Amino acid sequence: MLNAVTKSDGRGRRWRSLLCFLGLAAVSLPAFADPSAPALHRDRYGRFNVETTVNGREGFLFLVDTGASRTTVYRSLAADLGLRSLPRTQTIITATGTQESLVYPIASISAFGRTLRPGQMAALPERTPGHLAGVLGIDILRGAMIEFNVKKPAGRLLPPGSAPGDGGWVRIDGRPVGYGSLALEVVVDGVTIPAFIDTGAGLSVFNPPAGKALGKDSLVLNKNGKPRRTPGISAGAGNIAGYLRDVGELNIGDHRVTTVRVTEADLPVFDLFGATEFPAMILGMDILAKQDFAVDLGHWRLWIRPPAQKQD
């Protein structure tokens, strides 16, 4: 069941909150006493993947995606498990649009000590050949804080409201948006822009209003003096081309990042978050994973440990 609610942040900006109830799938949520940090894998986009158990079978790599509302699998996983599709399809919303997907019987998916029991689940076709078997979404991560150690790499779930690590972290308060994702405000070259924290995105992306607010000076030009286009942002529904912008300074709370190249693209996912009329961006792993960080999906906070504080 979905309820669409539109909220104002007091400055004329509209935020759409789509509340997803736990009745969509049963989730077993254990206590957070286990101090172990499962080893993660980094893919070529810098994103974190974790070994996941599906229908009792271990060893499948799933993308840890705080921007995905629901956990999904790829058709290659269904084939590996010898599953046959059910006589129905389901519409899945991806960053680049919607896609009709086959549905397969999936009894259970377990990762980070949590178990999701969907019964059945839509399966996306792979855009490119790869080793990923699926995507872990908000439905299994909800209410936890996920701490990411970039160097090891490793990750663990902590109780919401925890202070991660051993000190030296910067805390940035945000708010829930979408189906339970985290959003907060960043300042890009002096322009305040709401940002969605998306560990499933390899690249950070501005929407067109953000590009307009930043002005023409940040556009990367080709040898003919025209705005340089990107090959495209890829997701389940295809590719969407965009433009490149060079950012001199991006501030996430008290944490400062300098000299960043960000893509500008008119992604349909911005409409899902109600962010088509005002500046907004997706904060992806090209910026997040420059240092250890944690995403609190219970108290709606981002924690960052600046590189000077990192320890072996």
Q: What is the mean pLDDT of residues 82-86?
A: 94
* Angstrom distance (rounded) from CA 104 to CA 201: 25
Mean pLDDT lowest among 163-167, 201-205, 264-268: 163-167
* Angstrom distance (rounded) from CA 231 to CA 212: 21
Q: What is the mean pLDDT of residues 142-153?
A: 91
Do 233 and 225 form a contact (C-beta atoms < 8 A)? no
Q: What is the pLDDT of residue 178?
A: 81
Q: What is the mean pLDDT of residues 5-25?
A: 35
Q: Is the pLDDT of residue 15 over 60?
A: no
Give tens-digit pLDDT for 291-307. 999 999 999 999 999 87
Work out the pLDDT band at 217, boundaries 50, 70, 90.
Answer: very high
Q: What is the mean pLDDT of residues 73-88?
A: 93
Give tens-digit pLDDT for 223-262. 888 888 876 665 554 567 788 999 999 999 999 999 899 9
Here the tokens at position 261 are: 């190249």
- All structural domains of the chain, each given as residue ranges with its CATH number in brackets, are 2-149 (2.40.70.10), 166-309 (2.40.70.10)
Work out the pLDDT band at 24, boundaries 50, 70, 90.
Answer: very low
* Angstrom distance (rounded) from CA 89 to CA 145: 33
Q: Is the pLDDT of residue 18 over 50?
A: no
Neighbours of 108 (CB within 10 A): 15
